[in-house]
Structure 1
């Protein structure tokens, strides 16, 4: 099998904090069957990992060490934190697996430069839903929430030729999870037993 590290089979999930990216990824992970050739990459992050996300907490110094050693395929800085995706995704892509990463809208051009065939998945929600979710999380002040809401409404750069799919996650998680699973080719959810 030839190595395939151009991003074909790579889904780059992005959206404002509070849009439900981690919930969508968790819902997908829960429905993956043993034969689904799909891997959801964890992120490295310079804060404690939330129980709802697939993340590994690193100190700032350890993050910088791994970056310097070339251990990160993708990395970015946002809201005072550093985020990264490990180079192991390139081995997974080379094996022909579908790889899903939790990325950043601001970093999309750099991600496309490295993986030109990735599919960008933008998770969006209505502003009032986003505000409620951010407050419910309890991580930030009202001032920080206001900044996040303003940023959520801003346009972001989508490189020419980049495939972009929008998923509205304002309503029931099941509906958006079904759309996401269909997009990445996961096994359909089983109907509830009567």
Structure 2
């Protein structure tokens, strides 16, 4: 297999409610098949427009045991993974967008040293309203989630783009689309 072209990886991260899934869908509709949008495997039922495959904890553990994830992590009692197809796509020079985790960005950087990191955020009031609309948590849980919002510690050496998604989706979406298109236009290694 060819060497992985990690400069073609776009690792998206940000707090719950920042609108990552909306931005991913915005870009996906506009770039066509020239870019792969990796789905995640999550130990939670699918829904809310999120591109993921629901797994039981046993199914997830089996995939970890068999080495079927390029990356995997745990957050708030759920397990998340991105399949090894990510490496096959990068080895073939295909740009790939991954919905990742801020707390595990250092792991992604170690594995994909030339990746582009995109941090999506929004104003606290916007985050709270979006989390309330999502309906997974009550008001007290949302308040607690926003209070513990970790600061973003960018790993040393990471190339990062910050996008505020507090306003119109088209504004943040256009900025994100520019990052995706840049990766797609990059000459192959």
Q: TM-score over 0.5 for the alignment?
A: yes
Q: What's 2:28 paired with?
A: 29
CA distance in 2, matches of 1:42, 1:151: 27
The aligned counterpart of 2:187 is: none
- Count of matched residue positions in the alignment of Structure 1 and Structure 2: 182
Map residues 18-167 of structure 1 onto 2, 5 A cutoff. 18-34=17-33, 37-152=34-149, 154-167=150-163
Contact 2:31/2:181, CA 8 A, preserved across alignment: no
Secondary structure (helix, strand or coil) at the match of 1:140 reads coil
Report the CA distance between 1:6 and its aligned residue: 5.2
Contact 2:27 2:180 in 1 (8 A): no
The Cα offsets for residues 105-159 of structure 1, whole Å up to 9 and x where unpaired, read as 000111111111111100000001111111111110222211221233x323211
Deviation at 1:90, TM superposition (A): 0.5
Partners of 1:129 and 1:58 in 2: how far apart? 30
Report the 3-state secondary structure (helix = DSSP H, G, I; strand = E; otherwise coil) of the residue aligned with 1:33.
Answer: helix
Give ranges in structure 2 of 5+ residues lacking alignment: 183-189
Gaps of 5+ in 1: 187-194
Cα displacement (A) at 1:51: 4.1
1:182 aligns with 2:181: no
SS in 2 for 1:185: helix
Asked whether the 8 Å contact 1:7–1:93 carries over to 2, the reply is yes
More helix per residue: 1 or 2?
2
Query: Contact 1:6 / 1:116 at 8 angstroms: preserved in 2?
Result: no
**Structural RMSD (CA):** 1.4
Q: Tell me whether 25-34 or 68-77 shows the greater mean CA deviation.
A: 25-34
Q: Which runs of 4+ in 1 moved over 2 A?
A: none
- Quick check: 1:16–1:148 contact (8 Å CA) kept in 2? no
TM-score normalized by the length of structure 1: 0.89
- Could you list the per-position Cα deviations for residues 30-89 of structure 1 after superposition, in whole angstroms to 9, with x for gaps in the alignment? 11235xx21100000001011401100000000000011000011111111000000100
